[in-house]
Amino acid sequence: MVVRFADGSELRVPRGTTLAEVARARGESQALVALVDGVPTDLSARLERDATVRFLRFEDPQGRSVFWHSSAHLLAQAVKELFPHAKLAIGPPIEDGFYYDIDVGRPLEPEDLQRIEERMRELAARDQTIERVELPRAEAVRRYQEAGERYKLELLEAIPDERVSFYRQDGFWDMCRGPHLPRTGLIRAVKVLGSSGAYWRGDERREMLQRVYGISFPDPAQLEAYLQRLEEARRRDHRRLGRELDLFSIEESVGPGLVLWHPRGAVVRRCIEEFLREELDRRGYAWVYTPHVAREALWEQSGHLSWYRDNMFSGIEIEGQRYLVKPMNCPFHIAVYASRTRSYRELPVRLAEFGTVYRYERSGVLHGLLRVRMITQDDAHIFCAPHQIEDEICGLLDLAFRVHRAFGFSSYEVTLSLRDPATPDKYAGDPEVWERAEAALEAALRREGVAYTRAPGEANFYGPKIDVYFFDALGRKWQLTTVQLDFVLPERFGLEYVGEDNRPHRPVMVHRAILGSLERFFGILIEHYAGAFPLWLAPEQVRVLPVADRHAAYAQDVRDRLRAAGLRAESDLRAEKVTKKVRDAQVWKVPYMLVVGDREAEGGTVSVRHRTAGDLGPMPLEAFIQRARAEVTSRTAS
RNA sequence: GCCGGCGUAGCUCAGUCGGCAGAGCGGCUGAUUCGUAAUCAGCAGGUCAGGGGUUCGAAUCCCCUCGCCGGCUCCA
């Protein structure tokens, strides 16, 4: 029998050789699991025919996923030992670790988690062999009925197969497709991260189970590194930095989810807005301002009342008319478009606005700036003829990448959400228009050389869309740009333009946001830069630090000249030592510190210290201004 | 909204068994006049989230409300 490997080499082994033996023969001491002709397989499995084999380690995403899946079983085993009456639901691996949903009959407390973690360590150290066992379906049902494992029985109902696989380690059995690690001893480091309520099958009408989260590694040093990454994320938390750097606050007296942009945060926002304005002006957008409320009838016509009402703030009544606070800007932009006859000559009409909308978000989901009830979208709506879609999408992709590059986001992922061909009736609008539009989106992506993933069935009911995700400095993925075609609203509002043929035509509408919402983007940006904004965004760009009181007048003069040159400058005139002033400026993450004493006052110079590069030495004030202005204008990312 | 954990000075946090409300940082005042990450001293600052209850007595125990945190569901 011949076993082939990815590198082209081959190994001859007798039929029935286990994968573990093959691994040993190949010196694959790190192997956790194998891919046999692409199928993930236990190392304990025997090879019965020629096959191509690849061994997976923890470093391989699939290997890691198996490692965490087995860790989830270990967690369940520990819980079952500590709480014999607990009923198991499901326990999958996730992006960062694993969880297990368990009905324990009571909430788990921190001490319980401590005990579970300790028990997991003991069970891992016991190095139990993990064994795959296949049982007839009836036998599996019988076992679970006896044990009263109602969730497992429900899962079993959904499995049509006559034989069901189980994994066993000592006395602990769990129904599972597998594969799994060969033994628990490979799990050398374990941490139970927390627990929370989670609905059975994700359905809020059903039982609430306890979801216990954990993470594990083959090497304790990896756990240590992981915990340090968590600590780094805590250090960058925008809620913490927002307070420390006086950027924003959310006050109980005002209301949850309602953001107060403090002066220092407002500066950053203004820079972001100005940058976007420049970019959009260059691309033929027209700016509009629209109200925050509108008559109920407008929301009826747009359809929001029927499908978005649960997310809307309740209405206000004025002179017997009901008004609702806007959860979206589109009806207003549509009203601008529809305010007069439109000719094909003026298409595409691109209407842009930093529009603040209000959405009712359930209290439990609010999270700093990332999830709020007041959302300022960098919104725009493009009204165009169907044949213009492709060019418009190209322009939007170009815009999105250019803008995000300026903020230091370079790696991305793109999904193209299309109709599900199986359920064409789920979608509104003409199937032919859909066809053409989907083709146009795809053509645009290819023309721009953008790598993307097709997601059939993920389209909105009103049109296909493109979502762009960017990765921040910590490697976390954020959906920022979204471009959505809409065939429904032009219909509902009867939008038209007069064509070359002097007859009315229906425009296509594109909803698009580049940054998403300014609140959320600001939160992401704070964490991305850990509060140390590049010069062009920094709330305070330069701080002048006089050495002693007698230098105060010169310091003020320097500050004023910086301001006259368009730089955001402050001076620190406190009767403190320079070291203290430097420290405070560093803590506030001010990019440039200018130390001025006798030598500088005499020569009209400044001694420049950069936040990260350190002491840059003395230079004429004018030279510094030139340098700083160039850095601002180029929007250098560092 | 649901499950769990929290809420003490502007911030970070002590506060034992139910027995006088604390520290550091920050702020203010004064002294110091200093050359690239913290000078010294003094002072002010509290409805212990809010309300109700138990008790001779509540920051501490119980109940309700509000808010925050970690998740679930949802999502820009």
Write out pLDDT tens, residues A205-261.
788 888 999 999 999 999 988 888 888 888 899 999 999 999 999 998 899 999 999
From the CA of A93 to the C1' of B74: give the distance in Å: 22
Query: Tell me: the pLDDT tens digits for A421-448?
Result: 888 788 888 888 889 999 999 999 999 9
Of chain A, the percentage scoring pLDDT greater than 90 comes to: 71
Q: Which residue is nearest to nucleotide B38 (CA to C1')?
A: A580
Nucleotide nearest to A484 (CA to C1'): B76
- Residues A316-357 have pLDDT tens digits of 889 999 999 999 999 999 999 999 999 999 999 999 999 999
For A102 and B4, how far is CA from C1' in angstroms? 14
Q: Is the pLDDT confidence value at A110 over 80? A: no
Reported as half-sphere exposure (CB side, CA atoms, 13 A), residue A2 has a value of: 5
Per-residue pLDDT, A431? 87
Å between CA of A575 and C1' of B62:
53
Question: How confident is residue A197, by pLDDT bands cut at 50, 70 and 90?
Answer: confident
How do strand A542-546 and strand A569-571 relate by DSSP bridges?
Answer: parallel
Say if residues A213 and A192 touch (Cβ distance below 8 Å).
yes
Cα–Cα distance, A250 to A260 (Å, whole number): 6
Q: Which nucleotide is nearest to A600 (CA to C1')?
A: B35
| pLDDT at site A637 | 76
Q: How far apart are CA A149 and CA A144, in angstroms?
A: 5
Distance CA A244, CA A588 (A): 8
Contacts of A23 (CB under 8 A, 6+ apart): A29, A31, A34, A43, A55
Q: How far out from the chain centre does Cα A144 lie?
A: 39
In the three-class reduction of DSSP (H, G, I as helix; E, B as strand; rest coil), residue A139 is classed as helix
Q: Are A104 and A59 in contact (CB under 8 A)?
A: no
Distance in Å from B53's C1' to A102's CA comes to 37
Tell me which H or E stretch contains A195. strand A189-199
pLDDT digits (tens, 9 = 90+) for A11-53: 888 988 889 889 888 888 888 999 999 889 999 988 888 989 9
- The single-letter DSSP state of residue A296 is H
Q: Which nt sits closest to A256, CA to C1'?
A: B67
Q: Which residues contact A635 (CB under 8 A, 6 or more apart)?
A: A275, A406, A534, A536
Of the ranges A104-118, A300-314, A595-609, which one carries the lowest mean pLDDT score? A104-118
Q: Is the peptide bond before A331 cis (omega within 30 degrees of 0)?
A: no
Average pLDDT, chain A: 92
For strands A374-384 and A321-325, give the pairing: unpaired
Q: Which nucleotide, over all strands, has the C1' atom closest to the CA of A372?
A: B76
User: Which nucleotides on chain B have any atom < 7 A from a protein Cβ?
Assistant: 1-5, 11-12, 31-39, 66-76
Q: A498: buried, middle or exposed (CB in 10 Å: 19+, 13-18, 0-12)?
A: middle
Residue A588 has pLDDT above 70, yes or no: yes
Catalytic residues of A: 330, 359, 377, 379, 381, 465, 511
Q: Which residue has the least CA–C1' distance to nucleotide B37?
A: A583
Each residue's pLDDT tens digit, A509-564? 999 999 999 999 999 999 999 999 999 999 999 999 999 999 999 999 999 999 99
Distance A107 CA to B64 C1' (A): 22
Find and give the residue nearest to B4, measured CA to C1': A196
pLDDT value of position A199? 86
Tokens representing A200 are: 């059975």
Say what the pLDDT of residue A638 is. Answer: 65
CB A89, CB A149: distance < 8 Å: no
Mean pLDDT of A100-121: 85
Six-digit token string for A472: 């921040």
